[in-house]
Amino acid sequence: MDYMIRFMQIHESFRQPETEALATLAGIPLEWVFYSHDSPFAIVRFPSTTDPATAARTLITRSILASAIYELWGTGLDYPSLHQDVRQRSAPYWPLHSQHSFRFEIDSFQGSHTSSQHTAIIESFAYMAFSGPIRMKNPSAQFVVFEDFLLDAPLPHQLHLGRLVASGNRKATLNKYTLKKRRYIATTSMDSELALVTANLALAAPGKLAYDPFMGTGSFPLACAHFGAGVFGSDLDGRSVRGKGGRDVRSNFTQYATSPLYLGGFVADLTNTPLRSSRCLDAIVCDPPYGVREGLKVLGSHKPELQAEVFLEDGRLAHLAETYLPPKKAYSFLRMLGDVLEFGTGALVEGGRLCMWMPVAGATAEEEPKGVGGKERRGGGGEGGQEGGAGKEEEYAIPHHPALELVSECTQHFNKWSRRLLTYRRLANSCIDENEMLAYQAARLILQGENGVGTADDLNSFRRKYFRGFLDPSMPRQHEKLPHTY
């Protein structure tokens, strides 16, 4: 039997990858019979599964972007063809439900009916001869007629009849995790719906370990812990980890009763990470700073006087003082993405996943001499940000690493810009192309140069060498500016 997934008509490009991730996690073979970004109704099959109903139920429980899954009892372009298909496909199943309490409803996408039309549609299925009681609350069998209308069309162009197998927990989960009710958030907290979808794509699950190197207020670790994974995180900005007045990352875990899964947070820089070199993470989930508002920073300084120990007036070492704040220097966004991929390669177990957000387009200041263009300055602070003189924006290529396979690429569109969620899978060492890896490592070494500091000019070759050109012609190119919140 085929199954119908009732998706939400939002974040369309995330829907299939989420469902596929959940199938991978549960080891369910999944085949798409019908899927379209323009429809909330998708049809799937579970080939060579002995218990497809259980597979369907498992698939939907964790889904954030699908609300329910149904047995597909029929499909058609209009009501006569639907009825014909229902007779063909589902007649053998009618007697199974003939005595059960049941209910019929209509789910119209972009369409509506008067109540008399509604009743007439439901009564047109009378030939199925269900003699059990009609019960609106908790019936044994729940049937839904799905109507798919094109916008403003008078008649639906696609119809389905389904019997409910299982509903997901989307509503309750979103209601619980909404940022509106979260005790501790910041301007850049990831919206809870997409954080949970990200955790699904990362295959977060009980017994697994996930890490967020740009934790902020903990949106991703919280989402991964919701699905049972042990989590920890870090951030370059200690203030975000520590919080204030009892509102901190830990208090968020307490709020959602997942603090047993929170292994701790610390203050650290990804380019100087304290994580030991060992492949012990099942997932890395992150939304690296886009470097617009503050300019992207890493530890270090270009000032010559800071390259040796600095003493305070009283003779003590400056960096040992209680109030010491380490200097930070500007860093390239694209180089940092490369660092995240390299870090992921070294830290993920085989099959482990890296989920990383990035803007689709942005300034490429390093491609132009500073100050050229004279367009509006981006970034409020103006303090040392490398975005300073940028005027030009272009679509970023999708970062590539020989040890990581791109699993999915999802785009979230905003009014004036968009961003991507990239999901990678750590390949087995035996599956990595050796020559490609050698070339990649060599290129990285050259880039790092002395003291691991590359100049802005290096970034051109960085782009050429590390990023595989990628322009999907079907995707509208975004040339808009990032909002000031990032």
Tell me which residues touch other proteins (CB under 8 A).
206-209, 230, 232, 234, 236, 238, 241-242, 250, 259-261, 263-269, 272-278, 280, 299-301, 303, 306-310, 318-320, 324, 326-327, 451-452
Closest approach of other proteins to the CB of residue 2, in Å: 34
Comparison of 148 and 294: residue with beta carbon closer to other proteins: 294
Q: Cα angle vertex 335, ends 332, 338, to 5°? A: 155
DSSP 68-80: EEEEEEEEESSHH
Residues 6+ apart with CB under 8 A from 440: 401, 402, 465, 466
Comparison of 155 and 280: residue with beta carbon closer to other proteins: 280
Closest approach of other proteins to the CB of residue 13, in Å: 32
Closest approach of other proteins to the CB of residue 57, in Å: 21
Residue 192 phi/psi, 5° resolution?
-65, -35
Spatial separation of the C-alpha atoms in residues 398 and 230, rounded to whole Å:
29
Closest approach of other proteins to the CB of residue 218, in Å: 12
Closest approach of other proteins to the CB of residue 279, in Å: 8
Q: Residue 486 CA to chain centroid, in angstroms?
A: 17
Spatial separation of the C-alpha atoms in residues 164 and 159, rounded to whole Å:
16
Closest approach of other proteins to the CB of residue 58, in Å: 18
Comparison of 234 and 418: residue with beta carbon closer to other proteins: 234
Choose among 65, 16, 81: nearest CA to 44.
Answer: 16
Comparison of 324 and 414: residue with beta carbon closer to other proteins: 324
Using DSSP's 3-state secondary structure scheme, residue 446 falls into: helix
Q: Are 303 and 310 in contact (CB under 8 A)?
A: no
Comparison of 150 and 318: residue with beta carbon closer to other proteins: 318
Comparison of 204 and 422: residue with beta carbon closer to other proteins: 204
Closest approach of other proteins to the CB of residue 20, in Å: 24
Q: Residue 270 CA to chain centroid, in angstroms?
A: 21
Rg over CA atoms, the chain? 26
Comparison of 47 and 264: residue with beta carbon closer to other proteins: 264
Query: Sign of dihedral through CA atoms 268, 237, 301, 372?
Result: positive
